[in-house]
Structure formats: C-alpha cells, structure tokens
C-alpha cells in the first residue's frame, strides 16, 4: 500500500474524482466505433481534417509551455521532455498531410467546426505569460493523455480496428507516446505539489475544460455537429 500511495499524485486523484468525464473523453463512442470496426469512414475523415487544424494551433501552445519550462524548470529534464514533444509535431503535421492525401481529404479551405474553434481559443488563452507553469503542464498532459489512452484502447486484445486505421491508432497508442505522457504527468504532479491552493484549483478546472473540449471534439467527429 505504501508504494501505491507514493505513486499517486494530484493528477491521479483528479482522474478518480472526475472519472465519469475522464472516461467520456477516453472511451468516447467515436473511439469505441474504431475499436469495434463499426466506424463510419466519413466520421474518420472529418476527424482527420479537423485535427490537422487543431494540431497546427497546438504547436504554439506547446512552444509556450516550453518557454515556461525554460524559466521555471529546476533542471533541464522538463525542457528536454517538452522539447521532444514539440519536435515530434513537425512529423505529426507531415503525417496528417500524407493521410489526407491517402483518404482524398482536402486540407485547404476547410471549414472549421465550432467545437474546434472553441477548443483552439481555449488553447490560446493558456499561452499568456500570466498562466502558471503547473496549470499549463496539466493542460498539456491532459490533451496528450486523452489521445494516448483513447487510441491505445483500439490496439488492445480483442479490438477489431480496421487494418487501414491501425497506423492512426499506433501513432498515439504506442508505448513510446505512453512514456512521454507519463513523463508529462510526473512533471505536472511535481509542480502541482508545490503550487498554491489557488493555482491547484485553477489547474483542476483547466483539466475539466480540456476533458470537456475533448468530448466535444469527438462528438463533432462522430456526428458532424
């Protein structure tokens, strides 16, 4: 029991506290439809084009977290972890373009859905210098972990994920990305443990906002609304 308590941080306690919403974000019907092979390909294409837009907006957000790491990190490890995540986004954007070509999805002049616009505006609000490092780290972990847990579920034993979507699931569901998410969580927990009550409260609200935006993004992908 002692070892288990040691490993449990603020984020783990929040996940348990808000498990219904967390499960809604990581086991959404859109993800479950990929896992059981019933996914509507038009929904997948909609997710593809909208997520490409989101990732391009995600880049400056991660860069802003990196700047905060440079100013707040007690050692170089934080910066290295976040820099690795930022560097991988260049490859991710190239992957989206390649996938879009494969699925005959146009990424130019795409109409941005309301759920995506709202999520991108939320990201922008987290980029100011006034946003505390612990809060930004919490958001970054939540965004990345939602995808990691969702797509990893589509690769587990018993899944019937269509072969043509396996690569998509492996991109975020692989163990290397899982390790990156665990590193982010460890860093976030470390700073949350030292944060003021006000920052902790704001970080928890930020986590809930991320999960709500993720659910809305999946809803938009799944139903087109």
DSSP 163: G
Which residue intervals of 73-165 are DSSP H helices? 77-102, 114-125, 133-153
Burial of residue 84, with CB atoms counted within 10 A of its CB: 0-12 exposed, 13-18 middle, 19 or more buried: exposed
**Residue 116 · residue 54 · CB < 8 Å:** yes
Please tell me the distance from the alpha carbon of residue 211 to that of residue 57, in angstroms, as a whole number: 17
Pair 69, 78: CB distance under 8 Å: yes
The residue assigned the tokens 């809305």 is: 216
Our answer to whether residue 214 is catalytic in this structure is: yes
Q: Report yes or no: 113 and 221 within 8 Å, Cβ to Cβ.
A: no
Are the beta carbons of 81 and 184 closer than 8 angstroms? yes
Given the residues 92, 204, 214, 216, select the one marked as catalytic.
Answer: 214
Classify 99 as helix, strand or coil: helix
CA distance to 11, 112, 115, 168, 225, per residue, from 47 (Å): 28, 11, 12, 11, 12
**Which residues form the catalytic set?**
214
């Amino acid at each position: 029991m002692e070892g288990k308590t040691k490993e449990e941080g603020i984020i783990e306690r929040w996940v348990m506290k808000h498990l219904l919403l967390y499960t809604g974000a990581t086991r959404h019907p859109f993800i479950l439809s990929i896992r059981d092979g019933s996914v509507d390909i038009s929904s997948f294409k909609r997710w593809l084009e909208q997520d490409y837009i989101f990732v391009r907006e995600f880049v400056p957000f991660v860069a802003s977290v990196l700047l905060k790491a440079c100013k707040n990190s007690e050692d170089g490890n934080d910066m290295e972890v976040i820099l690795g995540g930022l560097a991988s986004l260049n490859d991710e954007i190239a992957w989206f373009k390649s996938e879009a070509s494969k699925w005959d999805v146009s990424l130019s002049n795409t109409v941005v859905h309301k759920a995506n616009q709202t999520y991108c505006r939320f990201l922008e609000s987290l980029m100011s210098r006034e946003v505390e490092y612990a809060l930004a780290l919490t958001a970054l972990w939540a965004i990345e972990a939602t995808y990691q847990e969702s797509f990893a579920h589509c690769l587990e034993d018993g899944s019937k994920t269509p072969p043509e979507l396996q690569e998509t699931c492996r991109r975020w569901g692989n163990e290397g990305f899982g390790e990156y998410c665990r590193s982010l969580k460890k860093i976030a927990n470390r700073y949350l443990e030292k944060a003021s009550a006000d920052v902790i409260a704001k970080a928890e609200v930020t986590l809930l906002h991320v999960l709500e935006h993720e659910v809305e993004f999946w809803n938009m992908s799944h139903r087109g609304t």
